[in-house]
Amino acid sequence: SFLILQTFDFLELIVGVGFYLFEAFVRLLVQPAWKDVEGEIVLVTGAAQGLGKLIAEELGHLGATLVLWDVNREALEKTAKELRSTLDVRVYAYACDCSRRTEVYRTAELVKREVGDVSILVNNAGVVTGKYTFTEAPDNLVDRTLRVNIAAHFWTYKAFLPDMISRNHGHLVCIACHGGLFAMNGLADYCASKFAAIGFAESIALELRVLQKEGIKTTIVCPYLINTTMFQGCQTKWPSFLPVMDKKAAAKRIVDAILREKMYLLLPSSLYLLMALKRYTFSQVVYMQSPSKQNCLCIEVFKSK
């Protein structure tokens, strides 16, 4: 009977894999329609500038209420004022250091009282320090990287996910990086934080599926280099195959993935090929995609992507 049970489980696995492969193939051919986000409350961390600001702007054009978080109060207020003048939606701004658990919880309670329940959470805030090897990197900068790039996701999910679960409605967006898929020289702490962010987002997606909360979606974004201040000065070895992306184009692709409820988005599309090759030619693929650094990645404070 044990052998029969094992055989049944194996056949169930094969059928399940076949079904999901077929489903994935169909999704490639038939793009799902955009969902309506008008009136949804969207919270974007690291929204004062760069990619976070552009993602918020794109969603604002579609009628979403915007809640902007950033550690840089001055830049945040400037962005909020600009978006209020160009968008016909409500825009709220809250200075918040997402790496500090108590500050996240306190600010989240303010948002719930003053704005309402967040239904789309975009974890975009990030920090990178790239002028040191791992053994030379100051401990405080390594700690900062881990607290901002991964621990902050724990606290924002803890703050907003329970309400999404109770309503079975929401969307969790993790803006990771290709550094969460491939190792990069000189960025051990950064890559570790991004690998962790992807694993965390995937695990939460699985939890929600087991809980049968199909109304809560998860999108994981892994871009290569984007022309924002975070990677200012970085160059790509293969500009035709792995180009440095324009931040406006990247924001549009990310918002499209959110609206189509895609679970994964790799930018540019050539990263999908590299992921397929990674298993068989690890060192060569990792070396090939690693960006060149020329006086870049010297950031020791929060930078919105």
Q: Which residues are catalytic?
A: 190
Q: Spell out a b/e string for 140-172, using b for 16 or more CB atoms within 10 Å of the CB, else e.
A: ebbebbbbbbbbbbebbbebbbebbbeeebbbb
Beta strands, E only, the chain: 41-45, 65-70, 91-95, 120-123, 170-175, 216-223, 234-235, 264-267, 292-293
* Helix (H), strand (E) counts: the chain: 10, 9
Amino acid at 143: D
Mention every residue, 6+ apart, whose C-beta is less than 8 A from residue 123: 45, 152, 153, 156, 172, 173, 174, 175, 197
Which is nearest to 177 in space by CA: 230, 256, 137, 139? Answer: 230
Alpha-carbon distance of 190 to 173, in angstroms, equals: 19
Q: At what angle do helices 73-86 and 50-61 cross, to 10 degrees?
A: 30
* Cβ contacts of 101-108, under 8 Å, gap ≥ 24: 101/151, 101/155, 104/152, 104/155, 104/156, 104/159, 105/155, 105/158, 105/159, 107/69, 108/156, 108/159, 108/160
